[in-house]
Amino acid sequence: MIEVGEYKIKEGLYYTKEHEWVQVLEDGTVLVGITDYAQKELGDLAYVELPEVGKVVEKGDVLCEVESVKAVSEVYAPVSGEVIEVNEELADSPEKINEDPYEAWIAKIKPKNLEEELKELMDAKAYAEYLKTL
Amino acid sequence: MFRQAKWDEPLIFELSRPGRVGYTLPKPIEDIKVDIPEKLRRKSKLELPELSEPEIVKHYTRLSEMNYGVDSGIYPLGSCTMKYNPKINEEIATHPKVAYIHPYQDERTVQGALAIMWELEQWLKEITGMDRFTLQPAAGANGEFTGVMIIRAYHLDNGEPQRNEMLVPDSAHGTNPASAAMAGFKVIEIPSNENGTIDLEALENAVSERTAGLMLTNPNTLGIFEDEIVEIAKIIHKAGGLLYYDGANLNGILGKIRPGDMGFDIVHLNLHKTFSTPHGGGGPGAGPVGVKEFLKDYLPVPLVSYDEKSGRYYLDYNVPKSIGKVKELYGNFAVLVRALTYLKIMGRDGLREVSEIAVLNANYLTQKLKGTRGYSLPGKELRKHEVVFSAEPMKKETGVKALDVAKRLLDFGMHAPTIYFPLIVHEALMIEPTETVSKEELDAYVEALKRISEEAYTNPEIVKSAPHNTAVKRVDDVLAAKKPIVTWRMYKELKEKGEVDY
C-alpha cells in the first residue's frame, strides 16, 4: 500500500482520474471498484446501484451509481467491455466499500480492448502523485 | 447556553381517549332521508384521535418547542434563501375574501383572485425582464421541468429534434441536470475555472448543433456573479441554444440587474426563497416560469389574461403550442397571494435594498470569518448573497468534518449552513444569511464558527459527537437512507418483531 495523507493506494492495480480502480485477473477479465479516496470523499455509502450483468460499456460510460449520505456519484467504466458478474454482496452491504475499497469490487468486466486502454490508466505510483495534486 | 426542549411526546393517536371531545355538535337530524348506496357506506369506524382542545394545544406546542425554524433564529442554508416570512403575508392569505373561494368558481365571481395573479405576473415581469409568466409550477424543480420542456418543444417546433444536449455547469444545483434528464435531454457538464465561474473555453468547445441550451444560476452557487454572462449568452445563442436562468439566487441581484437583460430566454423563480413565502416543511412552494416573447406560446395553460374591452380578467386557454399542464389548476394560489403582499409592501426601492443588505451580510460574515484556522475560502473573495467556505484544512488537521461543524452549530441554537454543496468544493459550508438577520446575529454566528474551530484543534471529540443540546442527538443518516422507517405503524411493527432497538 502507498499512502498519501489518509488515503491508501493499492499497488498492482490501475487507476482512473475519476477514482476507479482496475484489477486484471489471470483469465484476462478485470475487476472494477472505487478507490479509498473515492469512498472517503463520499462518506458512508448507503446504496450501490449495481450494473446489470450483460451490460456493454465503452470506456468512460456510466457503469453504475453509488449513493452516500452526502451525494450520489457515478462510477465510470475504466475499460470497455461487457459486465459478466457483479458483486451482489454490495446490494445489502454497501458499507463493505467503506471497510475495504480494494476488496469490495463492484463489477467484473470482460474487456474488449484491454491492452490499449490500460495504457491510458495510471499505475499506483502515478495515481498517488495525482492525489497529491488534488 | 442553548438547551432545546425535549419532551417524551407520544403521537396524537396515542393520546386519544374514547369519547373525549373539544367541541359540541348539534344533534343529528334523525328523520332525514339520504340515499347513500351501500357500497359507498363506511364499514369501519373513522379513526380520528379524540382529545380536548387544551390537550391538542399542549401537544402541538410541545412539538413546536422541539423544532427550529425561521421564527426561531438564523437559518443560513446556502442557495435556499431561508428568509423571514412576514406575518402580514399570512394575514392577507387567510383573509376570508381570499381564502374562501373555490378553484371551479365562475370566473366572473373571482375577479379579485385573478387580478392578484395578473398583478403578480406584472411584478415578476418587471423584476426579471421577461415578457410572460406562468404561475402554475408548484416549486423550483417543477419550474425547471417546465422550462426545459419549453426548450424541448421550441426546438422540435423549429425542426431541430437533434438538439438533445443540455449544458449544465459543475457548480449547478442538482435539480438542473435532474430536470434536464427528466425532459429527455443528455446532460453535458461544463467545468468551472479557478475563479469559480464558467470556463468559457470549455463552453465554446461543448456547444454544437446538438446544443439545446444552458442552465445557469447567476450569481452561481459559490455566491459569485458570472461576470462573463454577456459572452456566455452570445456563445449559446450563436450555437442555436436557449439560455435558462435558475432563479434560486435571485436574492443576490434583486432590483439591480435583470436576467432578461443578461440574455436569458427563460427563468424560473422561487417565491418561497426570494419573495418570503414559507419554505420547506412550511410550504407548499411556487416556481413561476417567465419567458421572452418568442416563447410565450409554449407556456402551460391556463394563463391569466386581462381583457381591456370588458375590463375583466380571465383564464386564458388560447396558448397554441402549450406544453400542457405542469400542475392541476392554477398553481398554489395562497402562496401567490403572499408573494404579491410582500412585493407591494417592499416596493421597488425596498426590493433593491433586499439584495443590497443580503450581499452586505454575506460579505460581512465572509470577512469576519476569513482566516479562521481550519476554514479556507475557495474562489473569489467578494461574494454576492452567499459564501462557500471549505472545512478541508480542518478535516486534514483534526479529523473534524464539515458535517461535524454543522452538527456542533446546532448546540449554539443556530441552524447549520448547507453542507457538501456545491460538489466542486470539498467539505463545503455554504452560508447564506439573507437580509433578514441583524449584525448581532451575524457576529454570534461567526463567533460560534470560530469557537468550533478552537474546539476542533483542542477537543475534537466534543465536535465529532455533537449535537449535545438538542431534542434529538446525532442521527444515523446512513441507516435512515438504507432502512427508511417512514410511518409510525412501520416503526411499531418492526419494534414488535425486534428488528429495531430504539
Q: Per-residue pLDDT for A120 more than 80?
A: yes
Substitution target in B395, B477, B479, B483 with the highest count of A β-carbons within 10 Å is: B477
| Residue B281: per-residue pLDDT | 63
B359 by DSSP, 3-state: which? helix
- Which residues, listed in sequence order, are joined to residue A62 by a DSSP beta bridge? A76
The matching CATH number, chosen from 2.60.40.10, 3.40.1360.10, 2.40.50.100, 3.90.1150.10, for A2-121 is 2.40.50.100
Contact at 8 Å (CB) between B321 and B149?
Answer: no
Quote the ipTM score: 0.72
**pTM higher than the cut 0.80:** yes
All structural domains of chain B: 12-66 (no CATH), 110-345 (3.40.640.10), 357-477 (3.90.1150.10)
Which residue is it, cell 381591456? B308
Query: Cα Rg for chain A, rounded, in angstroms?
Result: 14
Whether B282 has a pLDDT exceeding 70, the answer reads: no
CB A69 to CB B482 under 8 A?
Answer: no
Kindly give, in sequence order, each residue whose CB lies less than 8 Å from that of residue B267, ignoring residues fewer than 6 positions away: B128, B130, B147, B244, B245, B247, B259, B260, B289, B290, B291
With an 8 Å Cβ cutoff, are A69 and B426 in contact? Answer: no
How confident is the model over B222-274, as pLDDT tens digits?
999 999 999 999 999 999 999 999 999 999 999 999 999 999 999 999 999 99
Residue with cell 462573463: B228
Is A133 exposed, middle or buried (CB count within 10 Å of its CB: 0-12, 13-18, 19+)?
Answer: exposed
Residue A126 · residue A2 · CB < 8 Å: no
User: Tens of pLDDT along B389-434?
Assistant: 999 999 999 999 999 999 999 999 999 999 999 988 999 999 999 9
C-alpha cell at B150: 419549453
Residue boundaries of the structural domains of chain A: 2-121
pLDDT at B24 over 90: no
Question: For residue B36, what pLDDT is reported?
Answer: 87
Q: Which runs of consecutive H residues, i.e. helices, occur in A17-105?
A: 36-42, 89-92, 95-99
| CA–CA dist A93, B234 (Å, integer) | 49
In this structure, are residues B192 and B198 in contact, taking their beta carbons and an 8 Å threshold? yes
Whether residue B126 has pLDDT greater than 70: yes
The candidate with the shortest Cα–Cα distance to A72, out of A97, A41, A95, A27, is A41
Q: Is B246 helix (H, G, I), strand (E, B) or coil?
A: strand
Going by their DSSP bridges, the two strands B211-217 and B418-419 should be labelled as unpaired
Q: Measured between CA atoms, how close is B378 to chain A, in angstroms?
A: 13
How far does chain A reach from its first CA to its final CA, in angstroms? Answer: 19
User: A15 has which bridge partners?
Assistant: A21, A122
- At B439 the three-state DSSP class reads helix
Contact present, B190 and B199 (Cβ < 8 Å): yes
| Nearest CB neighbour to B482, from listed A41, A46, A70 | A46
Q: What does pLDDT average to over chain B?
A: 94
Q: Does the beta carbon of A94 lie under 8 angstroms from any beta carbon of chain B?
A: yes
